[in-house]
Every structure is written in C-alpha cells, then in structure tokens.
Structure 1
Amino acid sequence: MSQGIAEGHMHWQILHDGSLCLGVGSGKHPDVRSDDYITPVIFTPERFGQWVHLAVVYDLPGGEVTFYLNGGILSKHPVQTPTELTPVMMELGNWTPSPDKRQQPVRNFAGCMDEFSLYTAALHPDEIRALAE
C-alpha cells in the first residue's frame, strides 16, 4: 500500500468483508480520493488456512482492471478514471498512517506470503495462469 492516496498511488488490500480492493488515487475530485475496484467476497472462514494465488492487472491501455484467484478470472471492472500508476514508497502488508490522521492507523495483513511481484506491464491471462500453477 502506498503511503497516502495521491494521484496514481495505489492500494491493494483485503477488505473487512473478505473482498479484494484495488484503490487508485485519481485526483478527480477533492472529496473522492480514489477509484476503488472491488471483487466479490472470497475470504470466508471456509478458506482460512488455504493457500491462494491472487493477482490484479490494471490495464490502462485496455481500459480494464482484472482480478484473478488461483489463475482464473475473479472479476473485471472498467477503468473509472484513466490514471497512470505511480509507484512510490510502499509497505507490503501494512499501511502507515498519514500525518493528517485521515487514514485508519491499524490496517495490516495477518497471514503468510510466499512471493510478491510487481510488473511494469499488464500480464496476459495465460501468464497469470502460469504464475498460479
């Protein structure tokens, strides 16, 4: 998660209800800090303790955000506000509160991660499937 949500900054997180969210700072309106792309709920008690492969592809030229679960498409969303992603200082599994305290101070991942990758180009669905295998 990026520190803050300025234009182009991104947050990829598991929400309290068990869905995934990619938030992209859009700068389109002072009261709307990010465009949020949210999947159906995937993390339920039945899935706890199971290994899963998660991926999200933000395809700006294609105008689409696609979430993947175990190599298969979970959900697709049209890009709301075309915004170039700008990776900045980030923390894996944590969100450092901003100095203005507008962000919740405790937002951390409790679990295990085997691997994390960030690519500079949108991967094809076959590439995501191969990564999950």
Structure 2
Amino acid sequence: MGIAEVFIGSMQQLLFQLFNFIPKILVALLIWVVGKYLISLVVKLLKKVRVEGAKPVNKLVETLAFILLPLGKVLLFLIVLDYLGIGSSVIQALVSGFTFAIAIAVGLAFGKALEPDAKAVVDSVKKQLEK
C-alpha cells in the first residue's frame, strides 16, 4: 500500500463521515431557529402582560422577561450541543466555570462592601499591638 492509497482512503473516510454528519447539522440548525423563535415569542408575550394597579407584579414580569431571553438562549445552546453529540463533560466544564465566575464575583462584591469594616478591625488590632 502506497502513500497515495492511504491518503485516498483517509479522504474517502473523512468525506463519508462528513456527509453522514450534515443531516445532524441541518437538524441542529432547525432546532436553533425554532428555539430562538419560541424564546422570542415567550418574551414578547411576557412583555405584553400588564396587571392594572399592580406595579410590583408588572416589574416582576419585566424582570422575568429580561432574564428569560439570555437564559433561554444558553439553554437552547446546550440543547443543540447535546444533539450534536458534544460530550457532556464539555457542558459540565462550562457550567463549572460559570459557577466559579459567579462565586468569585459574589466574593469580590462582599469583600468590597465589607472593606470599611475590615479596615476598622485592622486598625483596632494595630492599636492593641502598639500598647
């Protein structure tokens, strides 16, 4: 077997796998388009909901619509990845990274908010050590 035969065999196998994967990509695109349409439809319907004389409920509905759009897109993206057969370990790594990012942001927010209290504690410890 020569190099040319190995190359041709590899290319045939690659093309065969590619042609077998094209229907999956088309269905994934269909899922993406239909999903985006449904998400936008739900958000539009939520934005139209108004309760007379209930300002907190209206604000809650607006906030829910604001949160639902990006959350729905992320969920749709994960559904498409799962359909395409991308490993669940990749999805778990993405979720873990997102969770760690949120934890760090919350920790920094609390740290910045408690900065004056921490300064007061450090100053009192310094005064105690100077005595």
Q: TM-score range by the shorter chain?
A: under 0.3
Q: Which one has a larger percent strand, Structure 1 or Structure 2?
A: 1
Structure 1 or 2, whichever has the larger Rg, is 2
Using the size of structure 1 for normalisation, the TM-score is 0.22
Q: Which one has a larger percent helix, Structure 1 or Structure 2?
A: 2
Using the size of structure 2 for normalisation, the TM-score is 0.22
